[in-house]
Amino acid sequence: MKAILKATIMLSLIVGLAWCARSAPAEEGHWAKIRAFLEEYEEAKTPEARKAVAEAAEKYLKSLTAEQLIVAGRQCAREVENDPKDPRHEGAIAMGFFYVRYPPAADDLRDISPILQEIRDKTQPALWRRQLIGFLLTSSKWSAKLNNDQRQQVFDCVETILNDKADSIYVRSKIPTRLSRTLLKMYKDYGDASQDDAQDNQTEREKTLKEFTERVGKYLENNLKLFSDPTTPLTLRQRLLIGAVFCYQQSIPGSGGTKEIVLQAFANYRDYPEGLWQQLARYAMEDFHVTNADDVLDQMIRETSDESLKGLLQYQKKKARKRKTTDSAKE
């Protein structure tokens, strides 16, 4: 099993590196060395030769320090972004070597300040910063290693970026949905710790939980203002809404204001882009059970000229009717 796992990880590194090796310019540094291994692997004529290259590549990657891996990851992301094709999805795969190798090289993420600095630095590739945010917030190989103090550091870092309208929308749009899951993890950890603590520690834990709750409330309040701001790009507004409703669904303290904002937006849907209508309808009908939702939904269907959206809204209406029929049968 261990041998299979090792082979699987090595294969992921090779596949991840393959995209960036296709049209790479000459470049000094660790990324150039990693790319060279890939080229050698692709040129190998036999399974034995490929295995030898893979083992050499793995040995080299393990020899790199955390700082050297950061440099290589940064170079890889910049190279991907400079490709004329859309780099986003394939670039995320290309940085697999960094995703796998950085935590063990960085003492299992005992100090995340170097990564936070990379995320804050607007001069770094947007793809690089976005991927690092994803690693810290939701990746099992990264986020599971963090304690709540570190998660708080990540929270502070990405909240600042989210609120910075001058920053890349590609970077900012990653944050709301991913951060909502981190907040849920933090809330559960604080609650579990309070229950497990001895009586003399519970007061301090309760104080910490209260401070966290207040902080989350302010964060969500600001997010909902950002969602309601017509100058906020549609992609970000959609994800702000998803993140806020998720916190409400999970009963995270401080998320109570979400319902009022969503219902106001649903009632005044004409003030919002059509790209938000289906989300508003779904949340109003499925999560908040608005009594006149069918009437508003019918108005949306009549008014939109987007056939795709019209189909989604009609499906939402059909789904709501089916649920009502089921609920009536249970009574």
Q: What is the pLDDT of residues 86-142, one digit of tens each?
A: 555 556 667 888 999 999 999 999 999 999 999 999 999 999 999 999 999 988 889
CA distance 180 to 115: 20
Dihedral-angle region of residue 254 (phi above 0 means left; psi in -120 to 50 means alpha; beta otherwise): left
DSSP letter at 247 equals H
Task: Report the pLDDT value the prediction gives residue 36, as an integer from 0 to 100.
Answer: 86
Query: How many H-runs (helices) and E-runs (strands) does the chain carry?
Result: 17, 0
Residue range 135-165, pLDDT digits in tens: 999 888 898 899 889 999 999 999 999 999 9
Sign (positive or negative) of CA dihedral 295, 300, 303, 307: negative
- Helical H segments across 47-198, by residue range: 47-63, 66-81, 88-94, 96-105, 113-120, 126-138, 148-162, 169-172, 175-196
Average pLDDT over residues 207-227: 88
Sign of CA dihedral 299, 303, 307, 309: negative
State the pLDDT at residue 157. Answer: 96
pTM of the predicted model as reported, rounded to 2 decimal places: 0.82
pLDDT tens, residue by residue, 224-280: 999 999 999 999 999 999 999 999 999 988 888 899 999 999 999 999 999 999 999
pLDDT of 91 reads 60
